[in-house]
Structure 1
């Protein structure tokens, strides 16, 4: 599948127990490189700066932690119930063939303990995200499956 920037998430996350609490759910996606629609486009030559998820206002505080390959990352909430993973600074060359793992740990006792409740379209089985290029001029939108907890790794 061609894209504006050379990054995308796989379609279905894996689920495991949280790192900070075994009652939490950890949802992990594989971040991989993909072919660009037009390799000559400046967007194709940029790195990945941030990821944003469309969530719901009631879900603020539902995220315990975010990890990239097991390393805890900064997380933020923006206006309009947008959950962000900023300052990634990922280059295409830094993504191995197997991809990199981005995980979101949701607090079991929160209002949004699963992707189905966390994502704005989760009740319809969809999570929507945007991947932003280094200069934030390219931000393609993608979807992945908003599973609850049936897929364990």
Structure 2
């Protein structure tokens, strides 16, 4: 099962995985219908959001519980996870520390920053480079060697 399938609650049969209750925290996890479907291969920002959500859920934390630990509001984190807001490098580092990701988010941040610069018009990433970034993201998400550039 790919990261996308895990995060969106979809699998080969196209069925949803129902939400589970975390008894220790008394927090009801949102079902896949309540969460925005993630498409991590769509852009660096989407991939970052998917990784953040993945690691947050692995840690068993709600947005409400993670927020104070990383000095961010739950709504800010929700927007980052949904690829609607660009994260700062500081936020990426704090999330890495709290979620014990091994630095995944901080390593992804330069790609997110480059995407932001392109969107704001401060940089012009050549079309071929954009295609290579999308292929890289697809490989990271699915690990599919059959994709162009795969081994």
Q: TM-score, normalised by structure 2?
A: 0.25
Structure whose CA Rg is larger: 2
| Greater strand fraction, Structure 1 or Structure 2 | 1
| Greater helix fraction, Structure 1 or Structure 2 | 2
